[in-house]
Structure 1
Amino acid sequence: MKTETIAIHAGNHVDEATRAVIQPIIMSTTFERGEDGGFPAGYIYSRSANPNRHALEHLLAKLEGGVEAASFSSGNAAGMSVFQSLEPGTHIIAPDDMYHGLRNQLKNLFAGILTFDFIDVNDTDVLQQHIKPETGLIWIETPSNPLLKITDIKKVVAIAKAKGIKVLCDNTFATPICQRPLDLGVDIVMHSATKYFGGHSDLMGGALITGETNDWWTKIRQVQEMGGAIPSPMDCYYLVRSIKTLPYRVKGHVQNAQLLAEYLEQYPNVEQVMYPGLSSHPQHEIAKDQMLAFGGMLSFIIKGDENDTHNIINKLKLFIKATSLGGVESLIEHRATVEGPDTKTPRNLLRVSVGLEHIDDLIADMEQALTL
């Protein structure tokens, strides 16, 4: 089936008792045993499995072209479950502009348990130099947050596989509508389902999707069940509902982002626009090769200082000054402020989650805000 069809049908099961077209929400935390003491419906306790979570995970696996998915209460919980699944002493290679929430997890929660290096994974020589005998995972994030760097997935996978190292790709910015890392050889794909999967800025979730069920995946499943950082049945229901429109929402985000990026690139007060759909992007050709579309996120650097960026944000009427991304409304933020004192993000950079408003209105709003 095509992606649009998968999004609508893969997460939905007609209720046998009522024949309801939309699968009901099963809030029960526990399930009745059969006369033989077994579990005839396959469910024991909601932390282990739930019909709504089963439907969501089936849908996520189909969307990414994987064999199984595990859903979590947030993207950070999904990432933490990966780190918890690794043997103590495992070395991780991660991007130098890795999403700050997961970077801080490694630095503040796993220091002394795991070792890690944050490097430019796009530099093949640097990547090779940092591989150690105990390296067990290369973590990539493409496009990256907030610099929109593009990692050559096939190149990294080739280097990793030659050394027996696993590769995980954070595909949150792209979604499976714009990029399918499992098809390019990645072992596991991660998502913050809060973002484009939810799509309406009103629920949280995270997901991991695997290309094969192996010992590592079994350990991740154990962490999910025993740790219990799972989404509620209600969150699963709403994620399944939201994903039904994901392919069409993302097409709108991509179209608006491309047009806004092209507008910003020619604006005299803008120094640089970071969007992989622009021919000026340093990895534009790689993005063309491995992405199906260029996504709905962009960042731009203004010709000014940090105070100027705040002045621009405060003049905007439609772009909401808020963290997060992937909702139907356009959001903008001064990313360095969010990331804290150790940020590597330029102080005059603004990150934009381009929404589904009419592009003429978005450009008009940006025009009046950028005018000094």
Structure 2
Amino acid sequence: MDSGYQQANVIILPSHLANDFEAFCRCNPAPLPLLHRSQSGETSCLPLAKHTDIRTDISQYCVYEEGQLVKTVSSLQSYTSQGRIAWPDMVCFYLGCSFGFEGRLKTAGVPVRNVEQGRNVSMYRTAVPCIPAGVFSCPLVATMRPVPAAMLDAAVKVTNLNPLAHGAPVHIGEPALLGIQDLSRPDYGERVEMQPGDVTVFWACGVTAIEAILSSKPSLAFSHSPGCMFLTDSPDSSPVTKPNPELTPLCFLVSHNPLFYSLASQRAVARIRQLEIIIGEDPGQRGIRALSVQDELLCSCLALSHSSSVAITTGFPTHYMHSPPDETDGPPGAIAMATMLLALGKQVTMVTDRRAVEMNQAIIDEAVKTGVLKTAIPLVTFEDHGPDSALHFLCHHGDPNRPRLADL
């Protein structure tokens, strides 16, 4: 919740796990921006706040034993009483929190629905794995804040300037693309109601650290209870990252179904738009400018950057009665694109019409033989035999929820 001061997630672990957890934070700075690591047994946190005692300064703590949440308590002082040896061996980690940017969102005019509704922010366990380190490995947890579509750029710009509060969103649009099937049932926090015109916007969340505890199963560990943060002495208005206009991210709609937005820096956008102008040059006066749609190249680049597999269509022979049929620049252009996409780690499939199969297969074989292609790529053909033929070709049994190719 917005307090006017920066807030922190807190994770407390046995000292023998501290180096592994710090490495885990360094590998995953978006969900786990490390603000401070204490010494073993240390209760104060002078870099973040004066006159503190981490054993009592949070309103509610979670206590974990062997990776299981066993209880919540309002104080950890019992773990430092005589006869208990837990605390002297414990190390505290203070992590940036997304509540730290809610004040900035409101200042920018972006509504913060969870604050408006008096609810804790919704938090979801995603299907996105964090980078493992040592004994720690778990899925990313993300917060969701509904944002009006017209204000997405403002929300992105504001949060991008605060990487210690998780920075820019990790996903904007369809929750299922993160593996979230039911927004009404958050794994942590409370359900936040969408308003007409809102888009689901997800930020990396420090509760990821709790998932790391659950998966690594330390004999004893503590955390803040989600939504009950450690309050620092730094106001929300403290300076954050100095803005670099060229690196300021902009938000673009890539797909309507599923709804999906992506981000690109102003510098990248400017360069791709310049390429669009060059591509649109028409010295032969063929009228190709009429085919140009502004930012279509940019959105295609963003879609490709997120894809895991790509289908390249080629064919349309100019003299289909010839054997093999003649073609102009289609097949070599398709091979060039396939080479680039394979280098980016994409799975590539080439699609052509039946008359051009033999010719394109020969071109693929030659490209592999000469080293132009590092590996052979599948070549498939499609013929139109009815209104649903394309759907059956692209999807198993014509079911749009079961695509044969992950991304097209």
- TM range, normalised to the smaller chain? under 0.3
Bigger Rg over Cα: 2
Q: TM-score, normalization: structure 1?
A: 0.27
**TM-score, normalisation: structure 2:** 0.25
